[in-house]
Amino acid sequence: MLKVFDEVYSLDRRCYEEFGLNEDILMENAAQSLARVIKSLDIKKKKVLIVSGPGNNGADGVTLARILHKEFEVYLYLPVGAKSKMCQIQLQRAQKVGVNVVDKIKKSDIVVDALFGSGLNKPLSEEFVNIVKKLNKKEAYKIACDIPSGIDTKGNPSPIAFKADITVSMGAYKTPLFGDLAKDYIGKIVVADLGVSKDVYEGESDTFLLEKSDMRLPLRKKRNSNKGDYGHSVFLCGDKPGASIIAASAAFAFGSGLCTVITNKNINLPYEIMSSFLVPKNCTSFCFGMGLGKEYDEETLFEVVENERIPVVADADIFSDKAIVEILEKKKNMILTPHPREFASLLKLVGMGEYSVKEIQENRFALVRDFTQKYKDIVLLLKGSNVLIAKNAKVYINTFGTNALSKGGSGDVLTGVIGSLLSQGYSLLDAAVTGSLAHSIASSRYEKANYSLTPSTLIESLKCL
């Protein structure tokens, strides 16, 4: 996993104060990183439009113009001029080597957005909104310097943003790059080397970007084993039994030795899934909430909640049920997997405020941290285009999900996968991380049309990881 930072100004200052570097050196290295990205593109035509703002992010763009001059046909556009000291210095250097400074947006093959960096703390003015709109309409390969202009410090378009194919983040990964509302603007992320290794540049962080290598599949290494060695996942059935059936099927496919659905109804189950009125004594994980509705066996639920030995996964309908408040007070070894609307309901029930879904999406990182600071032993997995997994205010970001998962039943598969890992002895955090990564990566490997993914085909994809 990789470190992610809310801001990097403190990291830059450390370069100046401890390592004897200065702003100029870091800027030259930042621009060289941008240049390497541009030179690596498989684009035959070489007209590059660089649109620079008045500050130091704009100065990175001006420096880039000087570096690319002659090797590319470069147009440098500064709609409001150069105002910071470094931007003025870099503009003088660019002009001395003959960079073509233009007074309007020119047609090009590549557009570089260097208007504003990651410190944007107010909405774009009408002038810059119009500029960004024009750039977004251009048929060109688009590169953002540091972060697409218009993405604010929380990762939200403010009110719109440059739509990049590649974002070259200066020095380190930054939290605003991973806001759900930023997902359609960021493109591929490349981290620029500023002249020191990341081990030197980076400090401590409480936010981490998950990599595929962080997924630890429950591959079986013990040759002398039986089904009892791989746990017994149990699922509480509610008003909509299909959700529990999907979850149980996913758990069985992902390694659970046994799977049981708790129900007093006659429902059709796959042959390998058992049913019972009572929680089996050898239960090693318990999942509830999916398809629960309002009428369910509360006595059975609290029997498990009060059993310290059994880890649980809570999902879906339970987040709109007042019982969740008591459950949170009694149960420590628990994973919660809400989507934004369910998270809003949960926050209201536990007295942490009333939020719209829009407000949840605009403040995902802060709200996840606040919740897990209040419930320090709980693992929270907030679903979204970028999944956030948190424990005790530390946040882990999973970016591998695809829009193919935007289907009913996908979340039930996730519950089953995480429940399966818990039943096989994974810790709460490890189960949430590996389960989320497996779920997302399985969706990304689905080869048919992305609108056609179903829970059953997702489970089949999980089997092939």
Question: What's the pTM value of the predicted model, to 2 decimals?
Answer: 0.93
Same domain, 97 and 9: yes
Do 107 and 81 contact (CB within 8 A), yes or no? no
Given a cut of 80, whether residue 125 has pLDDT beyond it is yes
- pLDDT number for residue 117: 83
Report d(CA 58, CA 86) in Å as an integer: 9
Report d(CA 381, CA 387) in Å as an integer: 7
Per-residue pLDDT band for 295 (boundaries 50, 70, 90) equals confident
Same domain, 52 and 69: yes
The mean pLDDT value for 158-168 works out to 95
Cα 403 to Cα 163, 167, 181, 250, distances in angstroms: 18, 21, 14, 20
Cα dihedral 63/69/73/76 (nearest 10): 30
Looking at 173, 205, 237, the residue that finishes a domain is 205
- pLDDT number for residue 314: 97
Which tens digit of pLDDT belongs to each residue from 369-384? 999 999 999 999 999 9
CATH code, 194: 3.40.50.10260
Report d(CA 144, CA 117) in Å as an integer: 9
Given a cut of 80, whether residue 101 has pLDDT beyond it is yes
Same domain, 223 and 188: no
Poorest-pLDDT segment among 157-161, 192-196, 412-416, 425-429: 192-196
Report d(CA 40, CA 61) in Å as an integer: 18
- pLDDT number for residue 287: 97
In sequence order, what are the beta bridge partners of 96?
none
Q: How many domains does the chain have?
A: 2
Same domain, 55 and 180: yes
Tokens of 306: 């009060």
Looking at 174, 205, 236, the residue that finishes a domain is 205
Do 171 and 1 contact (CB within 8 A), yes or no? no
Looking at 205, 227, 252, the residue that finishes a domain is 205
Same domain, 417 and 333: yes
- pLDDT number for residue 459: 96
Report d(CA 38, CA 446) in Å as an integer: 31
Which tens digit of pLDDT belongs to each residue from 70-84? 899 999 999 988 889
Same domain, 218 and 199: no
Sign of CA dihedral 396, 114, 12, 153: negative
- pLDDT number for residue 118: 82
Same domain, 250 and 166: no
Per-residue pLDDT band for 46 (boundaries 50, 70, 90) equals confident
Per-residue pLDDT band for 264 (boundaries 50, 70, 90) equals confident
Same domain, 271 and 313: yes
In sequence order, what are the beta bridge partners of 177?
none
Residue 263 structural domain: 213-462
Given a cut of 80, whether residue 93 has pLDDT beyond it is yes
CATH code, 237: 3.40.1190.20
Given a cut of 90, whether residue 10 has pLDDT beyond it is no
Contacts 24+ apart (CB under 8 A), 399-403: 399/178, 399/209, 399/210, 400/210, 400/212, 400/437, 400/440, 400/441, 400/444, 401/439, 401/440, 401/443, 401/444, 402/440, 402/443, 402/444, 402/446, 402/450, 403/450
Same domain, 340 and 265: yes
Q: Mean pLDDT score of the chain, rounded to an integer?
A: 93
Tokens of 326: 């008591």
Same domain, 20 and 79: yes
Which residues are CB-neighbours of 349 under 8 A, at least 6 positions away? 319, 320, 322, 324, 325
Task: Provide the CA 383 distance to its chain's centre, in angstroms.
Answer: 9
Same domain, 347 and 248: yes
Side chain identity at residue 460, one-letter code: E
Which tens digit of pLDDT belongs to each residue from 297-311? 888 999 999 999 999
CA-closest candidate to residue 231, choices 307, 308, 309, 292: 309
Higher pLDDT, 16 or 189: 189
Report d(CA 338, CA 360) in Å as an integer: 12
Per-residue pLDDT band for 87 (boundaries 50, 70, 90) equals very high
Do 250 and 412 contact (CB within 8 A), yes or no? yes
The mean pLDDT value for 323-350 works out to 96
Same domain, 232 and 201: no
Given a cut of 80, whether residue 172 has pLDDT beyond it is yes
The mean pLDDT value for 104-109 works out to 92
The mean pLDDT value for 9-32 works out to 88
